[in-house]
Amino acid sequence: MEEEVKLKQKVTLKRKGDMVEVATFKKMIITLNWTLQDVGDGELGPDFDLMAYYKCKDGREGGVCSSGYNQNHEDMGHIDKFPWMELDKDDKPEGNSKAGDSANEEMKIAKLEDFSEVYICVINYDDALDQKPVTFGNYKGFVSVVTDSVSGDNNFEVPLDSMDQGHVVVVCKIDNSKGSPKLINENRVLTLGKFAKDIPGSKLILE
């Protein structure tokens, strides 16, 4: 008789402020997913960028983002040395993409021990460049957080559903300041000015 195997349940942090503990892991994969739309003049968008910004327990600040901001591949991070996180790619709509298709970007994190807080952020690059506020909740987006933990929940989802307008959204935060790390739904939409003031390491992409 075949052994019964059950799918591990996904934990969805549906509301702002919802929180869950993150069990010990060796690999965490964070994926931003969204749906492409016609943004005018035959162009597909939005051009979302997945980013992570952090504050270390020793006070250091920094971030991981697309290499395009500073023309520096080091900005995409490293999985096998500090900052123990790495952006997989900067996804842009391809020639055969069409409205309704899904797009995604992925980031890996190897460990959290050095960090007191990590902010998982998304920027709408083209509109932020033009200082044009946008509504992030219009694109059926969500962030999935999956780990290889065997000692607790290891599959989480945070909807990107805020209808506030701004340039950057903090989708979720990992609070590792005390006790076990906690994943928190933030869905906090910020202007670039507020982003610079509130998020450690944000100067990485700002002038």
Q: Which residue ranges make up each domain of the chain?
A: 11-205
Task: Report pLDDT for 38.
Answer: 84
E-only strand ranges, the chain: 11-12, 19-21, 28-35, 37-40, 43-45, 48-56, 61-64, 77-78, 85-87, 102-109, 115-124, 134-135, 141-147, 155-160, 165-166, 168-175, 182-190
Q: What's the pLDDT at 44? A: 82
CA 205 – CA 128 distance, rounded (Å): 11
Q: For residue range 25-68, what is the model confidence (pLDDT) as tens digits?
A: 999 999 999 999 887 777 888 889 999 999 999 999 999 999 98
CATH 2.60.60.30 holds for 11-205? yes
For range 144-168, the mean pLDDT: 93
Mean pLDDT of 167-196: 96
Nearest CA to 98 out of 20, 10, 39 is that of: 39
Confidence (pLDDT) at 116: 98
pLDDT band at 98 (very low <50, low <70, confident <90, very high): confident
**Which pLDDT does position 7 carry in this prediction?**
60
pTM: 0.91
For 164-198, letters b (16+ CB in 10 Å) and e give: eebbbbbbbbbbbeeeebebbbbbbbbebeebeee
What band does 144 get if pLDDT is binned at 50, 70 and 90? very high
115-124 sheet: strands from edge to edge: 19-21, 182-190, 168-175, 115-124, 48-56, 61-64
Percent of the chain with pLDDT over 90: 73
d(CA 52, CA 114): 14
Residue 196 has phi, psi (to 5 degrees) of -60, -35
